[in-house]
A and B are shown apart, each in its own frame.
Chain A
Amino acid sequence: MNNAITLNSIRFIVLVLVQVLLVNNINFMGYINPYIYILFIILYPINNNRMLFLFLSFLLGLSVDLFLDSGGVHAAASVFIAFTRPLFLKFAFGMTYEHQTVKINTSDIGQRLTYFMLIIVVHHLLLFTLEVFNTSKVLLILKKTLFSSIFTVILCVLITVLFSRKSK
């Protein structure tokens, strides 16, 4: 248990710092940035205290907002996906989730990809809608969501593959 707390706190700090200092300077094609900090929310243990999880997600988004001067957009999107995460889990993993036995690191690659993609697309859509904050720019929002999501999914999958411990 203690191990999980340390792991998650380190992950929290490292992901925020990597996001704001490194990844946010990519600006591929001028505006495409991956948002890998949500890996914290994606990989957070499943049998958790939901109140704490919501609060941590809020804190995560808020710290990214602090660094990026973006008001509260990251906080809003993070809290939203943290709250709706059980739905995505249920959709992607089906029965195994019901029995609370999902281990994201050891799950089937197809299921894992569905889960990642769903959660990332929802997060990015909300993020860019709030960031642009202008209904007449729906196309811009969709364009940003699409390209950034692709980028984020690829990076997140790569990171989880790289850092997964060889269990099995």
Chain B
Amino acid sequence: MQQIINFFIRNKTFLLFLLLFSISIFLTIQSHSYHKSKFINSANFLTGGVYESVNNISQYFGLKEENQKLLEENNNLKSLLFNAEGNLEIDSSYGGSYVLTSAQVFKNSYSASNNYLTINKGKKDSIKEDFGVITSKGIVGIIDNTSNNYARVMSILNTNSRVNAQLKKTNHFGTLTWNTNSPEIVQLIDIPKQAPIQAGDTVITGGRSTIFPKGIPIGVVLSYALDDTENYFTIDLKLFNDMTNIGHVHIVENKDAGEIKKLDTRDE
């Protein structure tokens, strides 16, 4: 017994090192699996608060650009409105199920292999996990963690991110992933080789996920190749969104998500 205690006392530094090191490795491994990185994230009051106060200052520098973006979006919406005159009936069976909330991005990263954004809406604004996040140009990511006032968004530039996507002109579905090489280019995998693809084709979100509504733009096809099994295409997409420069975002809530999920899991 004496010897065991002596051993601990002699090696206390090494043991402390082992303990702290294994805690960090444990946290690292957790952060590499989807929905498990609960403890260490920037959606807490301390980091969120620091980011918020800095953002209060730095947002002034981007005001001109933000105005330009808003103007463009208004322009698009107005042109839709004028051209659709008379046909603006809202289909109550379909149109009413998505609720949008606007939010501001505090922190955005794109150089690591698992990137996250922090936004200024949280549980108080009834934001929950698995809500989609988009801008006027395209998709950004999925809410992955929330605190009272802040939420963390898993960017599509994250190796854990899987988003259902499809070609705009046909209904061939695939999965959106990222190979960490460039923040402008993402990969669309599992598109069957029968699909007629050309460089320049537009890719949009597919309606199969309960997170995003169908038809949100993602990017255009840059290049494509068959994967190792020769059955599916792996496609490089150029994003419409500039992921390195995101100011304001919209959070999309699908009010029917719970109902759809319940149906899906019923026979499992």
Q: Which residues of A contact B (CB under 8 A)?
A: 17, 20-21, 24, 27, 30-33, 50-51, 54-55, 58, 61-62, 65-73, 75-76, 79-80, 82-83, 130-134, 137, 140
Task: Please give, as numbers and ranges, the residues of chain A lying within 8 Å of B47 by CB-CB distance.
Answer: 66-67
Give Cα distance in the complex from A51 to B21, angstroms: 13
Chain B contact residue count (CB 8 A cutoff): 43
> Is the C-beta of B24 less than 8 angstroms from some C-beta in chain A?
yes
Residues of B within 8 A of A31 (CB): 111
**Interface contact A58-B24, CB-CB below 8 Å:** yes
**Contact flags B8-20 to A (C-beta < 8 A → 1, else 0):** 0000111011001
B225 at the interface (CB under 8 A from A): no
Residues of chain B at the chain A interface (Cβ within 8 Å): 12-14, 16-17, 20-21, 23-32, 37, 40-42, 44, 46-47, 50-51, 54, 107, 109-116, 118, 152, 159, 180, 182-183, 244
- How distant is B25 from chain A, measured CB to nearest CB, in Å? 6
The one of A17, A33, A55, A72 in contact with B28, judged by C-beta atoms closer than 8 angstroms, is: A72
Q: Are B20 and A27 in contact (CB under 8 A)?
A: no
Chain A binding site: helix, strand, loop or mixed by DSSP?
A: helix
Contacting residues, chain B, for A54 (C-beta < 8 A): 13, 16-17, 20
User: Complex: how many Å from CA A85 to CA B168?
Assistant: 56
Are A66 and B41 touching (Cβ within 8 A)? yes
Q: How far is the CA of A132 from the CA of B112 in the complex (A)?
A: 8
User: B180–A71 contact, CB under 8 A?
Assistant: no
* CB of A4, distance to nearest CB on chain B (Å): 20
Q: How far is the CB of A85 from chain B (nearest CB, A)?
A: 11
